[in-house]
Amino acid sequence: MKLHKTLLLKVQSPNVGKKERLEKTIKLYSEVLKFYLEVIPKLGMYHIASMSNKSALSFLELNTVPTKAHPNPKYPIFSGVQTNIRRSAINKAVGMVKSYLSNLLRWHREGKELEHSKPSYPNPKNFSLTYYSTDVELKDLLLRRENESLAFVRLKVINDRGNYEFVNYPVKPYKRFYEKLSGLQAEGWKLKNTATLIKKDKEFYMAVVLEKVVKRKRFRNPGYVINVDLNVQRNLACVGIYELDWEDKVSKFYGIKFISGKIIKLVRKRDYLLGEIRRKQALTGRSPQEGDNGKLWRKVKNLNKDIALKVAKEIDKVALDMAKKGDVVVVFEKLKGLRGKRGKSRKLNRNINYWMRKSIQDRVEYLSFEHGYEVNFVYPHYTSRRCSMCGSKGERFSPKGSKALFGCKACGYVVNADVNAVFNQHFAYLSYLLHGGRKARPVVRVGISPKRRSLQRSTVVRV
Ligand SMILES: [Zn+2]
């Protein structure tokens, strides 16, 4: 799998002639891109989206570019378009259509239910030209000089005579550009010899891309297991850390961490806004997206995004910390999806919770590729209802002024309800590691006295 990072550089106001060439190039490119975005539906967008990028490119060229062998293509493109500009535009158009179709599919699956707006067919207003590696040279950018603040990139642009030729453009790397670049290079990121030209507010920018090839990790005998219970309504996340000793077949409880802190403030703010939306909804009968509720709803969505990113970052921090000592697996509960339970009253809450949990998991999974730990899932199988000490069914209860607790009548165990869920999830994951099945099986015995009611660091779980 390839990961990408982008660094942005501003093109320093080059002289008028040079700027005109940039304008000309990006204008032509945008016309070609528009042309292909119109042609793709005519030639069948599902058909094209099912092809590899390479075959889509030749299919579209066959149908638009007159050649000796095919002098009359179905939808001939206007003349005067350089091959590489055309190809770059085709690749971009195909990529846009592919991502449009997958967004559409996702919207039908769950976005509709989550009241997200339906994606529309790509109709770009801002254009960015991604250069082929043969049309850009970044060598100068990599030669770091102490006294010079400018570097040059060589780009092919269209000149007055309509030729496509290399021209030097000065760019100004921002203050910490080289620091960041060398830091990333030390981590194995490589600068790709390609660049994207972006026009924004009459200024031009270059985006350069760093790439890193990573493998999805799968550890047979992980050293540390981090079990995460995402309880986005209460604590956000409860994280249990376990150290596995494969020689003695022992899983030692290493520690527990609640992710809440400052992030809880954002949750409060969001819940307040949600309350406002509900109040207005009750008065006007409008859905959350309509009228002045739309504004509040957008705020709620942004807060949710922010919360999800921050929670994911905290989980990533724990994983990175443990990864210094050994192979780490972060385990989540597999989400059941949105289908199933219907019912209007709690729908909004349920949807938001689902979306939050999904976003947190996706983000941590993405970070895991970069940071070299594994992410895995277990099916929740009564993880919150079973007693983690004896396996009997127990109950949740919330004494005044205290967090939700879990109590077991069979053995008398009382513990924080999220901690109980994390314990059960850990057993389910151990069962999976040992037996392959993902459902929790009572194969794991807890090696401490059931009478002990408080959580201690020395808790040992025998497997
Ligand atoms: Zn019990």
CA of 304 to the centre of ligand 1 (A): 36
Q: Tell me, what's the pLDDT at 449?
A: 37
Residue labelled with tokens 């009968």: 285
Q: Tell me, what's the pLDDT at 247?
A: 85
Band (pLDDT 50/70/90 cuts) for residue 428 is confident
Phi/psi at 173 (5° precision): -65, 140
Q: 3-state SS of the chain: helix, strand, coil percent to 5?
A: 40, 25, 35
Mean pLDDT, residues 181-208: 89
Closest by alpha carbon to 60, among 71, 72, 50, 74?
74
CA of 386 to the centre of ligand 1 (A): 8
CA of 176 to the centre of ligand 1 (A): 56
CA of 233 to the centre of ligand 1 (A): 25
Band (pLDDT 50/70/90 cuts) for residue 401 is low
Q: Tell me, what's the pLDDT at 431?
A: 82
CA of 446 to the centre of ligand 1 (A): 11
pLDDT digit string (tens) for 302-319? 888 999 999 999 999 999
Number of CB atoms found within 10 A of residue 2's CB: 9
CA of 443 to the centre of ligand 1 (A): 16
CA of 130 to the centre of ligand 1 (A): 61
Overall pTM > 0.85: no
CA of 140 to the centre of ligand 1 (A): 68
CA of 223 to the centre of ligand 1 (A): 28
Q: Which two tokens stand for residue 302?
A: 């942004």
Number of CB atoms found within 10 A of residue 306's CB: 14
Mean pLDDT, residues 349-370: 89
Mean pLDDT (the chain) is 84
Please give the sequence-ordered ranges of beta strands (E in DSSP) within 90-235, or none if there are none.
128-130, 136-137, 151-158, 164-172, 190-200, 203-213, 224-231
Element at 357 (helix H, strand E):
helix 347-371
CA of 408 to the centre of ligand 1 (A): 5
Closest by alpha carbon to 222, among 434, 438, 457?
434
Provide the 3-class DSSP secondary structure of residue 314: helix
CA of 300 to the centre of ligand 1 (A): 40
CA of 411 to the centre of ligand 1 (A): 4
Domain residue spans of the chain:
2-213, 224-261+308-462
Mean pLDDT, residues 347-361: 84
CA of 241 to the centre of ligand 1 (A): 22
Query: Would you say the C-alpha torsion 21, 23, 26, 29 has a positive or negative sign?
Result: negative
CA of 260 to the centre of ligand 1 (A): 28
CA of 256 to the centre of ligand 1 (A): 20
Under 8 Å between Cβ of 116 and 338: no
CA of 36 to the centre of ligand 1 (A): 65
The span from the CA of 426 to the CA of 461, in Å, is: 10
In terms of pLDDT, which residue wins out, 237 or 459? 237
The span from the CA of 136 to the CA of 141, in Å, is: 12
Residue 436 above 80 pLDDT? Answer: no
Number of CB atoms found within 10 A of residue 44's CB: 11
CA of 314 to the centre of ligand 1 (A): 31
Residue 40 above 90 pLDDT? Answer: yes
Residue type, 223: G
Residue 208 above 50 pLDDT? Answer: yes
CA of 387 to the centre of ligand 1 (A): 5
In terms of pLDDT, which residue wins out, 355 or 463? 355
Q: Tell me, what's the pLDDT at 460?
A: 46
CA of 372 to the centre of ligand 1 (A): 37
The span from the CA of 197 to the CA of 168, in Å, is: 14
CA of 424 to the centre of ligand 1 (A): 12
The span from the CA of 152 to the CA of 131, in Å, is: 16
User: What kind of architecture, by CATH, is found in domain 224-261+308-462?
Assistant: 2-Layer Sandwich (3.30)
CA of 356 to the centre of ligand 1 (A): 31
Q: Tell me, what's the pLDDT at 448?
A: 39
Q: Tell me, what's the pLDDT at 342?
A: 54
In terms of pLDDT, which residue wins out, 77 or 337? 77
Q: Tell me, what's the pLDDT at 74?
A: 93
CA of 417 to the centre of ligand 1 (A): 13
